Amino acid sequence: MEKNANAQIRSILELADRMIVISEHGFSCCDDDGCLLLNGLVRESAYRLRDAAERELYHHGTQGNCDREPLERPAGNETHDASITAKVKMVLQTHRSTSSMKTSVETRNGLVTLTGIAGTAAAKSLVTRLVSTVRGVSGVKNRMTVGARKPDSSS
């Protein structure tokens, strides 16, 4: 029975690896927020899936039932940062008070930097609070300006 479980876990690891490849391709060819969000969610799910399967294989290995070495995440925090950025964008797009704001999000080593225009100081503060609740965020630099949007001069 244990060998069947290991085969199933290896299949799950292969699925997670494939999900990572798919999300990497998506990041390289998509530039709109929705597509980036989707690829970030796929990548985050893949890493969670892979982590759970790795733990289970490790458990099996301590019992002498595992024949696979643990997998390593890619070097650096690029994958983690992309996932955080996607989650932050999703939170801001789905909250009724922030969904209409045009907010740029950048993440480096878990530190999220926000730029854009908030209608009020309270809206800017809300964005900071929402972003700080996202898993993986180590800090928030809110560089949004407060005030009304400037009218488009091209019209």
The reply to whether 110 falls in a domain is yes
Q: How many domains does the chain have?
A: 2
Provide the 3-class DSSP secondary structure of residue 113: strand
Contact status, residue 20 vs residue 43, Cβ threshold 8 Å: yes
Looking at residue 3, what is its pLDDT? 64
The reply to whether 130 falls in a domain is yes
Count of helix runs (H) and strand runs (E) in the chain = 4, 4
Q: Which CATH number characterizes residue 139's domain?
A: 3.30.1340.30
Residue type, 100: S
Residue 60 is part of which domain span? 1-73
Q: Is residue 42 over pLDDT 50?
A: yes
Antiparallel, parallel or unpaired: β 111-118 and 103-108: antiparallel
pLDDT band for 128, please (50, 70, 90 cuts): very high
Looking at residue 79, what is its pLDDT? 57
Looking at residue 7, what is its pLDDT? 83
List the one residue out of 121, 118, 125 whose CA is nearest residue 149: 118
